[in-house]
């Protein structure tokens, strides 16, 4: 979106939205007190887990990738790392890119990308 609409647009309609949703997620009662989640009926637990998973996948993860971009030296450096990861060659026995593969390629740890 940054390339299509500019940095201000990407910041306002993507990054700021992700940050707001992640901040709300971190303040969620069941995130802060997971022991209470087990007291709920299964359907409510499933709904909450689905909502939490969506925030982690579509808001928290992009923010972690943006943080990684800054830590590796910017957009060009990240583009180089990503082009090395996405060569089009897949391992037939495991054709998926893992989070650990990404961290290793960036020479970062999970702790480096904590948002808190």
pLDDT in tens, 7-40: 999 999 999 999 999 999 999 999 999 999 999 9
* d(C-alpha 116, C-alpha 22), whole Å: 10
Mean pLDDT over each residue of the chain, to the nearest integer: 93
pLDDT in tens, 47-91: 999 999 999 999 999 999 999 999 999 999 999 999 988 876 666
* d(C-alpha 40, C-alpha 52), whole Å: 15
Are 67 and 102 contacting, i.e. CB atoms less than 8 angstroms apart?
no
Number of domains in the chain: 1
Here the tokens at position 12 are 């306002």
Q: Note the Cα 13 to chain centre separation in Å.
A: 16
Domain that holds residue 11: 2-113
């Amino acid at each position: 979106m940054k390339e299509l609409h500019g940095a201000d647009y990407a910041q306002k309609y993507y990054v700021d939205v992700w940050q707001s949703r992640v901040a709300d997620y971190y303040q969620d009662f069941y995130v802060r007190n997971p022991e209470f989640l087990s007291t709920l009926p299964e359907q409510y637990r499933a709904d909450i887990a689905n909502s939490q998973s969506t925030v982690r996948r579509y808001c928290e993860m992009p923010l972690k990738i943006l943080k990684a971009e800054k830590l590796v030296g910017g957009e060009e450096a990240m583009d180089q790392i990503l082009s090395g990861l996405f060569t089009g060659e897949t391992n037939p026995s495991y054709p998926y890119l893992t989070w650990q593969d990404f961290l290793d390629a960036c020479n970062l740890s999970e702790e480096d990308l904590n948002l808190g």
